[in-house]
Each structure stands twice: as C-alpha cells, then as structure tokens.
Structure 1
Amino acid sequence: MKRSIFSISLIFTTILFVSHSFSQDEIHLFQSPDKVTVFQSGAMITHNYKVKLNEGSNILQLDSLPQAIDGKSIRISMPIKTTVLSNDFKYNANNNKPIEYPKSILKLEDSLRNYENQINEINGLIVILNEEQKIIQNFKLEGGKEKAITVEDLTKFAQFYELKLTEIKKSLLKYHLQLTDLTKLKNDLIKKIAEMKEPYRKNPFYYIETIVNAEEAGIYNLELTYFANNAGWTPYYDLRANGLDKPIDIIYKANAWQKTGYDWKDVELTLSTRNPNMNNVLPILSPWYLRIYQPQVTYYEQDSPLSLREDKVSSVLTKDLRGSGDANVIGTVDNKYFSEEYKPSAKYSLKSDGLKKSITLNHEEMEATFEYYTAPELDLDAFLTAKVANWGQYRLLPGEANVYFEDSYVGKSYIDPASGTDTLQLSLGRDKGLVIKREMQKDMTETKFLSNNVQKTFAWKISIINLKKNNIKITMQERIPVSTHEDIEVKLLEKSGADFDKETGYLKWYLELEPNKNIEKTFIYKVDAPKGTI
C-alpha cells in the first residue's frame, strides 16, 4: 500500500513539473532583419532578438517571417545556459484581421466615393435628357375637327422644337465633358490609393515556433538565420578613362533585388559570390576501365549464315564511367573564378518588389595601355581599347560596363574574365577624333577577260587623320578573299608594309600618328577565276 501511495505521489509530482514547465504563455517576438548576405541566387537573412526567459522550458514564436524561407536552413543560436530543444516553421491560418489603413488613405477613399456619386448623378441627368429629346422628336402636331392647324401654330412649334433641342444638346455636351473629367480624376485616385495601400498589403503570416530551455531566468540574446529564395544580385561596372596618360577608374557596382515578401530596412548588407546551392557531397573518383569493344552480330533466318550484319563499330576503346563521382551544380549562377564578399559601409533598404537597386561596392585604379583599332571595311570609326595586364589582381566578375571617356558617356561594354588571356582588353567606344576614309582606286581597278578565265584587280586606299592633341597608336585591319577552290586564284599585289596572314587573308598595320598628321595605306589584290564564277 505504501509503495502504491509513493508511485501515485511520484506521478503527480511529474505531472506538476511538466505542467509548470509548459503552462506559461507563448512568448511572441518580432524583429526586422538587421543583417543580410545576398548571393547571386538567394539570401542568408539574420534577425537578432532580446528575449526574457523563465527558468525551464519556454515556447517562443518568432512572428512575421517570409514564406520563401528554406525550412532546412533555419538556425537559432543562443548563449550558454540555454538549450534550443526544437524549432518548427509554420503558417498562421488565423491571420484574418482586417487591415487598418491610416487616415490619409481613408480620406482619399471618401473623395473617391464623392467622385463616384457625382458620376452617377450626371449619368442620371444624361438619361433624363435623352428621354426628353426622344419625346420631343417623336411629337406630332395634329388638328381636330373644330380647329385646324394654322401657320402660326406651326411656327410656334418649330421655334419651340429648335429652342428646346438646342438647350438639350448643350446640356448633354456639358455633362459629357464633366463626365470625362470626373472619370479621369476617379481613375487617377484609384491608382494613387492602390499605390498607398501597397505597403499595408496583407502578407501570409509565417512564423517559427521554438522551445528553449533556460537554466535560470534572465534576458538573453537570440540570433535567427535562414536562407530565402527570391533574391540575388548581378555585378556591373563604371569604367572612366580620363585621358590616354592616366589609369582607368573602375567602380564595382551591383544591381541587388529581393522579393522575399517583406521589405529590408536599414540592413547591414553583404554581397557574396559564393553559391550556397552548390552540391557539397565529396566526389568519389572511381576506377576508369578500358575494354575491347565486341561488335554485336545478328543473323537473319531468311538468309544463309554467310549473310550477316555487324553493328558499326564507332570506337575500339570505350570508357566505363559508371559510378563516376562528378558533382552536379544546382542553381542559376555559378561563379567559377573566386569567392568574394563585398560589404558596403552604409546600410541599405530594399523593398520586396523585385526592382533592382544600384549599390556601389569598390573602387580601383587600373594601369592600362591605350590603343586604337579600326576595320574600315566594316566601320569607318576608330575604337579606343585599353589593355590591362595581370587583370586577375582586380578580381573582376563577368558583367556589363558603362564606359565614360573624358567625362562623356560613350556606351556599354562587357567584361569577360573567361577569355583566358593574361591581358584584359576593354572597349572604350568610338573616338571621332580620328577621321578614316576608305576609297576604291578606280584607275588601278580593272577587269580582264582571257580565253577561259576572268581576272579582276581591286585596289583600295585607306587614309587616317589624327585630329587629337596627342600621339596615338592604332591597329588597322583589312582583308582579301581566300580561295577554297583550285580553279580560283587570289594574289596579293601590294600591301604597304602590312603583316599578311595567307591562311585568313587578314592584313594588319601597326601605326603611330602625331597630332594633325595623316597617313595613307594601299592594298591591291587580283582574283583569277573561270568565266561566270565572279
């Protein structure tokens, strides 16, 4: 009996302990994110809370979180003397409270109702006038037996008819104009109210429920981090060349965006080139076996054993790649050059609207050599290029660049570190300070008809004038045709000192021009081909 009483007492004590541990109300916490690391696809978001905990177990509800959270990425960190027992990402189905809009919006809605009432009133007046007009137009003047219709009656009726219809038409015109104006004001107001209501829109209410055990009561710091989709950034640059004897200023920038469902206000922003979606499974290198390919032989019953067909042998040696440990990359962006993090000094705010926000990341000066390039056959402008040696030290990512030369915007270029060369070549746009002309030399261009062939000689003269105030270097490229048939012969007769590549037909001149000087180059070639082919 004593043992039974002891058991009941123990169970009762345990129930009291559990009831004491979990009987307290849930502690609701809300905190906007204060740190965000944006990857080129996705973002790691951090919230920091201060929470008052009781001794023992505490149920916390971290409210108003975006739907885009990856539940597996949720991490809750707390100091010593606390233990996070569990956490669960949930949707609050009871979030049905009506939105309370500010007085400024309510006042505009009153104005909107006033416009609608005026529009309804005018539409009613228009209906009445149309009916009145219809009655007048359908009215017929008739005489009786006792009194016939006189000319005076007809005159009075005609005057009344004209006066009344004119009055109705003027009123209709006035009301239609008022209706047009009021409808425009109404539509503009509807648009304005919708824009003002946007920040108050009702988002789905998601939250994290977590159970934390505290060794003693007190105020503790809690850090929540999670990964969310629907965010990212892309790099771009401003390139400013202020002169041919000065380094290039390159300003690293980013277009960052997010559509996680909640605005980020004054957050410490980090932009990272890492790919958090990459598969981190350790690759296993399997043996690579070589074997002799055995062709399959097929016999057909209707034929003799001598009539057989072998599958076409495509290769004697084949690879057995079964069990290969190659890892797959998951995600929309894969930076294969380096891992870098950019931390702007200022705090930033990004609305959850998917619109790009420009952020300045860094500024560098790049030593460069400047040269001009022209291909007069295709374009009579000279293009300024900058060549940057050892560009790897600047850790550039692929991206568009806005190009400025001597304080003028000249267009867009593209930085492509994947080109694989030691020197990065940047296009700085057209320079009208070099005047280029390409003219056919008619006195040296001729056609000769032989017995079976036709010989055509082509002569071109290119001139370049340097209108700039400094010496320039320019590479000029032209071409002649390359024969791919034994009956067609192409012969270069004059190249004016150009480097000639017979395989491609390219001619290149490496020229230097002083200010206000011009240079001329001529190239002549002959094509010998059968009649009717050229």
Structure 2
Amino acid sequence: MLMKRMLTALCCIIMSAVNAQEITVDAKSRIGQVTVFLQGAQITRQAPLTLKAGVSVVKLSEIAPVIIEQSLRAESSNDAVKILSVSFQVNYLQGTTKPERLTLLESERRKLMERIAEEKSQREVYAEEEAVLKANRSLGGQKGVAVDELKAAADYFRIRFSEIKQKELQIDRNIRQHNEALGKIEAQIKELSGEAQLKSVGEIFVKLSAKSAVQTTLTLSYLVQNAKWFPSYDIRAKDIKSPVAITYKANISQQSGEDWDNVKLTISSGNPTQAGTKPEIKPWLLGFNNQVSKSAISSLANSDGSHATLGMVRGRLTDDAGQPLPGVNVMIKGTTVGAVTDSEGYYSLMLTRDAQTLVFSFIGYQAIEQPIGNREVVNVSMIADQSMLSEVVVMGYGTQKKSMMTGAVATVKAEELKQKRIITATPVVRQTTVEFTLEDKFTIASDGEFRITDMVEYDLDALYEYYCVPKMDNDAFLVAKVLGWEEYNFLDGEASLFFEGKYIGKSIMDAHNTGDTLTLSLGRDANVVVTREKVKDLSSKQFIGANQKSVFAYDITVRNKKNFPITIVVEDQLPIPNTKEITVDKIEDSKAEHNEQTGILKWKKEVEPGKSELLKFKYAIRYPKQNQMVLE
C-alpha cells in the first residue's frame, strides 16, 4: 500500500515537471493591418496557434529589424490563454530576404566586375607582348642584316605595334563604359536598402500559458520608424458652372525591412515620433541689452506672419560623389507639404505662406535642414549616415472671410456637402487625429519608393469670378472661391490644378493659413480684355506757391468677349504719403472700395456678354517743389 502511494506521488511529480517545461513553437504570422502616420507606422500581425497544456514560447520570425520595442503588444483571441511576456531581438545571422530587384542588380554588378577584370587581364597580355617586341627589335647583332630582312622586320613591328595600341584603346573604352554602368548600379543598390537591414532580421518571442490544449489567434502590434506619408491634392473644375472636385491623396513610402503585402491600410494624420508634452511658459525677465526675438527681426516674414517670398522653390539632390539621388523626401518644416525627387534628383515644391525651412531626408543619409530665405533654388548634397549603412506655376491660394464675399453665393451646409462626396476611404475623426481606412487592400514593398493612392474626393460648390490688376498685368485671371472646405480636415499639401480637362499648374493647400474660403487661381482668360490708359487731357502739373501739384487720371476698360456674363474684381492703387509735407487727394474713383491704410482701390463689376465696363479714377499729389519724386 505504501509502495503504491509512493509510485502515485512520483508520477504526479513527473507530470508536474513535464507540464512545467517550456515548449518552443515556431509560428507563422502575416501582416493584416498597417496604420501609416506622418512619420512611422503601426504594424498589426496575426498568427494562428495550437497550444498544448503548459507554458509555450512562440517564436515569430521575419519581423522588421528595427522596431520601437516599447510599443510591442500581444493579445490572444482566447481568454483561456494567458500572456506571460513579450520580447524582441535582432538575429544578425539570418538575413532578410532581399527584394528581387536588388538581387538582380547585385547579379548585374558581379557580371560587370567580371567583365572589367577580363578586360584588364587582356590589356596586361597586350602590354606583355608590347614589352617583348620592344626587347627584340635589335636584329642581327654586330653582323647586321640584309636590307630586305630589315624592311620586313620593320613592317612587322609597325603593324603589330599599331594593332596592340588599337586593342588597348578599345579595352580602355570598354572599361570606362563598364565603370559608368557599374556606378549607376551601385547608386541604385544604395537607394534600395542599407546593408545593415540586409544583414539582420527581427524576432519576437511570446511566452504563453494554457491549462489545457487550446487553439487561439495571437495578435501582435508594434511601431516602426522608417515609414511615412504626406498629402497631395488634385483640384478639378469642369467649367464655371460646376462644383470644384478636390481629390485627397496619400503619398506613402516605407523601408522598414518587411513588405506590406495585401494589407488593410489606414492613413493617419498623427505623428507618434513628435513630442506630445504641452509647453510651459517661463517668466520673461526684461533688462537692458536683451537680444531681440528672431521672429521679430526675421527678414522672411511680413508683419502678418506671411512669407515674404511666396512662390516655389526647386533644386537637385545629390550624394557626396555628385550622383543624383531619386526618391529623397523634401518637406517644409512644421507642415505636411512635401515632394519627392525624380529619377535625376530634381524636385520642385510650392511654398506655404510661413515656409522658412526645408527638411531633406532619405534612408541611409543624414537628414539636412536648409533655410529658404529669398532663394528660388536650393541644391543639397547629402552625406551617407554610416550608422545606418554598413512647368507653369499658378499662385493659387488666399484667405477671405465670408463677410467679405458678395454675389450669388449660397451658404452650403455640411450635411449637403457630405451627400456630394465620393468616398474611396472611410474617414474617422478622432480626438486629435483624422484617419482614412482604404476600402481596398494595398501592397507596399520595403523599397523606399512612394506609392500614391486616392483617399477621398469631395465636390464643393464654388464662386467663380475674374481678377485683374492692370497696373501690373492686363490679363484677367479666373479665380474659384471654394466654401465649406474646412469641414474635411485637409492638411497642408501641394495641389495640381485642372480646368476644363486641362492641367494648368500647381497650387498649394495652405490649410493652416487659409480662412473659411479657399481661393484658387485657374489661369488667364484671353476672352476678358482689360486695358489701363492714362488720360492726358485730365492729367496736369502746376506750381502753387512753394508746392507743386500733379494730377493723374486713368481709364480702365473691361471688355467681356464671352457669351455669358462674368463677375470681375479689378484692383489699382493710390500712393500713400510717408511725410506730412506730401498730400494725396482722391478726386474720382467710380465708386471704388478704397482702403486708406493700403491705398488699394477695388471694383467688383458684373459685365454682360459682348459689353464693356469703364472705370475711372483721378487723384492729385502735392509736395514741395524743391524735392524730386517718382510719381509714376
């Protein structure tokens, strides 16, 4: 009896020991969901598991080699499974699978290097033959040779030396061509991925506990940094009677080390790499010799904070060897406005009103910041980061409050606008971010190249009118003023403009500077003719005591050659004196809206088809006659 109890106890101890042993399980997982942030991405993987009773360690391979470990999370679909721990490590012995394109390039590189080696070997053979010929040019010693023999020998040496030199020149040309091709392939290989990522692969270990055999699905999520997106837009107007269609697009790139194959993709306006701590204001101690705030003396900004050189910047990105860098990300610092360099390293980028600094970033290279200043061209040479590598431009934005708009414009309610939108992605407005989940699954290889996808298209009502400043340009520009755009959480980004089915240039969605009306310029219209002429009979110059008086009169004519009525805004100006000794008197302005602080005269007129509208303005300037002034 005692022996039986001892055997039973021993069996229980053995079974407990067996159950306590950890079982290592290699599991297959696949990426099912990816959320791409402005910088970084959250990856969600799933792995179906069949677990035995006891403790199991599940190993998942082929993970991105660089993840933010603090973000790693694991969940089980079965409540009977308890997650004990989650850890991550990098396996430097098992390389990640190289992209097929990279494998082909490396194969081509090996072939070129072999050809270069063969050409050099052949050149050495000819060099040796040339040396032998030179050493044996002396014929006959002291006895000499016959004339016929000497002539035959000279002919032979001359012909053979010529053949050798021709061969050597051809070999040099071949080597030079092979080296040029090799340089291009080397640059392309460098672009595709860094050596560090090709030598390592991530592995995740999850320790699980189950009281009995069970099936479950393990869900893992983690953040990677080498991923990004930035917005861009297509803005289309069919004609001046149709709404404006705004297509919201995402430019997505990743080089995390793992391909996203046929995944559910969500685009988020969040940026987990950006500090989320609120700023705290410190006491401002005022004393003598304080440094003036940089923002107060900056030559880049106007008094209202807008950029003084509003327009476009362009340039070229190269590496430290002078080779072009395609695929470099160019961003306006502090915004989501960006562009990507083309195959020759060139880029062009529309500027927001407060743009001051450009940020250039590319996998494997040190990020560079460059001030814009008044430059129109910013070229940059990027330096490799050794720790990671072992057309017509249309100025088309502005601000205007609804209270400043006149004409037949109906206020469009948000509910009406929502009925008009064409959805290709589902937008979700969260507390601090906006997310778009694409309806169709998406594939993005880990190659650093940008893929562009449409997210949402909105049809928004617009007021169309013409705008002209004949003092500067006699052409009339068609302008679309879009209402209700702020309902849709647009981010800053470049916009391509299309009117009547034709591409007319680039603009900018300057979301954080634009008011409740988005103003877009749609180009020049030759069928609206504007002229500005000085009326000499009404202009004069005379002396009155110690002063001189000059009178100026102008006629502005607007002719509508179109077959429908148009609305046009015409602007001119009166000078503003900067001293009390100068006075400016307005005599006539055809009922213009006059801003006395800026001197701007503004007319808004309806012009019938085939008709003309005449605008007159006249003013006088008084100033001391001993002073010289430029009055026109």
Task: Sort the TM-score into its range (normalised by shorter chain).
Answer: 0.7 to 0.9
Distance 1:107 1:472 in 2: 64
Q: Is 2:259 the counterpart of 1:259? A: no
What letter matches 1:235 in structure 2?
A: P
- Change in CA separation of 1:179 and 1:511 when aligned onto 2, cut-off 3 Å: same
- Change in CA separation of 1:50 and 1:514 when aligned onto 2, cut-off 3 Å: same
**Counterpart mapping for 1:216-231 below 5 A:** 216-231=212-227
Say which SS state the counterpart of residue 184 (structure 1) adopts: helix
Does the aligned pair in 2 maintain the 1:256–1:357 contact within 8 Å?
Answer: yes
Structure 2 segments unaligned to the other structure (5+ residues) = 291-332, 337-428
What letter matches 2:161 in structure 1?
A: I
- Matched residue, 1:434: 528
Moved more, 190-199 or 54-63: 190-199
Distance 2:262 2:461 in 1: 36
Distance 2:188 2:515 in 1: 50
Say which SS state the counterpart of residue 74 (structure 1) adopts: strand
Q: Deviations over 1:146-177 (max 9, x none)?
A: 98x9xx95x98578647743552354234422
Q: Is 2:40 the counterpart of 1:42? A: yes
- Matched residue, 1:368: 462
- Matched residue, 1:463: 557
- Change in CA separation of 1:210 and 1:180 when aligned onto 2, cut-off 3 Å: same
**Counterpart mapping for 1:3-152 below 5 A:** 17-18=16-17, 20-24=19-23, 26-78=24-76, 79-95=78-94, 111-112=111-112, 115-128=115-128, 131=131
**TM-score of the aligned structures, taking structure 1 as reference length:** 0.76
Does the aligned pair in 1 maintain the 2:564–2:609 contact within 8 Å?
Answer: yes
Say which SS state the counterpart of residue 229 (structure 1) adopts: strand
Deviation at 1:532, TM superposition (A): 2.5
Deviation at 1:336, TM superposition (A): 11
- Matched residue, 1:327: none
Distance 2:274 2:572 in 1: 47
Distance 2:224 2:200 in 1: 15
- Change in CA separation of 1:187 and 1:486 when aligned onto 2, cut-off 3 Å: closer
- Matched residue, 1:273: 269
Distance 1:181 1:117 in 2: 11
Q: Deviations over 1:360-387 (max 9, x none)?
A: 1011211111111122233333222222
Say which SS state the counterpart of residue 393 (structure 1) adopts: helix
Q: Is 2:479 the counterpart of 1:479? A: no
Does the aligned pair in 2 maintain the 1:470–1:515 contact within 8 Å?
Answer: yes
Q: Is 2:168 the counterpart of 1:168? A: no
Deviation at 1:66, TM superposition (A): 1.8
Does the aligned pair in 1 maintain the 2:35–2:266 contact within 8 Å?
Answer: yes
Deviation at 1:234, TM superposition (A): 1.7
Distance 1:472 1:505 in 2: 26
Does the aligned pair in 2 maintain the 1:410–1:430 contact within 8 Å?
Answer: no
Q: Deviations over 1:283-329 (max 9, x none)?
A: 9999xx9xxx9x99xxxxxxxxxxxxxx89x9xxxxxxxxxxxxxxx
- Matched residue, 2:311: none
**TM-score of the aligned structures, taking structure 2 as reference length:** 0.65
- Matched residue, 1:492: 586
Say which SS state the counterpart of residue 72 (structure 1) adopts: strand
Larger Rg: 1
Q: Is 2:486 the counterpart of 1:392? A: yes
- Change in CA separation of 1:479 and 1:88 when aligned onto 2, cut-off 3 Å: same
Deviation at 1:87, TM superposition (A): 0.9
Distance 1:519 1:526 in 2: 24
Deviation at 1:350, TM superposition (A): 1.7
Distance 2:141 2:73 in 1: 98
Does the aligned pair in 2 maintain the 1:369–1:386 contact within 8 Å?
Answer: yes
Deviation at 1:496, TM superposition (A): 3.0
1:248 to 231, 244, 248: 244
What letter matches 2:215 in structure 1?
A: I
What letter matches 1:206 in structure 2?
A: G
Deviation at 1:92, TM superposition (A): 2.4
Distance 2:600 2:457 in 1: 39
Q: Deviations over 1:74-95 (max 9, x none)?
A: 1111021100011112222443
Say which SS state the counterpart of residue 124 (structure 1) adopts: helix
Distance 1:435 1:100 in 2: 59
Distance 1:97 1:409 in 2: 43
Deviation at 1:141, TM superposition (A): 9.6
Moved more, 124-133 or 114-123: 124-133
Say which SS state the counterpart of residue 70 (structure 2) adopts: helix
Q: Deviations over 1:257-293 (max 9, x none)?
A: 2232222121110112245457778x9999xx9xxx9
- Change in CA separation of 1:342 and 1:104 when aligned onto 2, cut-off 3 Å: closer
Does the aligned pair in 1 maintain the 2:481–2:520 contact within 8 Å?
Answer: yes
Work out the number of aligned pairs and report it. Answer: 484
What letter matches 1:265 in structure 2?
A: D
Q: Is 2:627 the counterpart of 1:532? A: yes
Distance 2:592 2:151 in 1: 97
Say which SS state the counterpart of residue 208 (structure 1) adopts: strand
- Matched residue, 1:318: none
Structure 1 segments unaligned to the other structure (5+ residues) = 297-310, 315-330
Distance 2:108 2:270 in 1: 47
Deviation at 1:515, TM superposition (A): 3.3
Distance 1:489 1:81 in 2: 89
What letter matches 1:227 in structure 2?
A: L
Deviation at 1:10, TM superposition (A): 8.1
- Change in CA separation of 1:187 and 1:217 when aligned onto 2, cut-off 3 Å: farther
Deviation at 1:354, TM superposition (A): 3.1
2:495 to 387, 401, 412: 401
Say which SS state the counterpart of residue 239 (structure 2) adopts: coil
Does the aligned pair in 2 maintain the 1:371–1:474 contact within 8 Å?
Answer: yes
Deviation at 1:30, TM superposition (A): 3.7
Q: Deviations over 1:428-462 (max 9, x none)?
A: 33334433333444555554455533333334443
Distance 1:96 1:443 in 2: 87
RMSD of aligned Cα (Å)? 4.4
- Change in CA separation of 1:156 and 1:487 when aligned onto 2, cut-off 3 Å: farther
Moved more, 367-376 or 391-400: 391-400
